[in-house]
Amino acid sequence: MPHWLFKSEPSTWSWADQVVAGAQGTEWTGVRNHTAKQHLQAMQVGDEGFFYHSGEGKEIVGLVEVSAPYRPDPTDAKGVFGLVELRALRPLPRPVTLAAVKAEPRLVGMALVKFSRLSVQPVTQEEWEKVLAMAGP
Domain count, the chain: 1
The rounded distance, in Å, linking the Cα atoms of 126 and 112 is 14
The rounded distance, in Å, linking the Cα atoms of 51 and 64 is 6
Phi-psi region for residue 99, left (φ > 0), alpha (ψ -120 to 50) or beta?
alpha
**pLDDT at residue 104 in the model:** 98
Read off the DSSP letter of residue 105: G
The rounded distance, in Å, linking the Cα atoms of 60 and 32 is 22
Q: What is the CATH number of the domain that holds 130?
A: 3.10.590.10
Query: For residue 47, what are the domain limits?
Result: 3-135
pLDDT at 48 exceeding the cut of 90: yes
pLDDT at 137 exceeding the cut of 90: no
Report the share of the chain in percent with pLDDT over 90.
94
The rounded distance, in Å, linking the Cα atoms of 117 and 114 is 9
Residue 58 neighbours by CB distance under 10 Å: 16
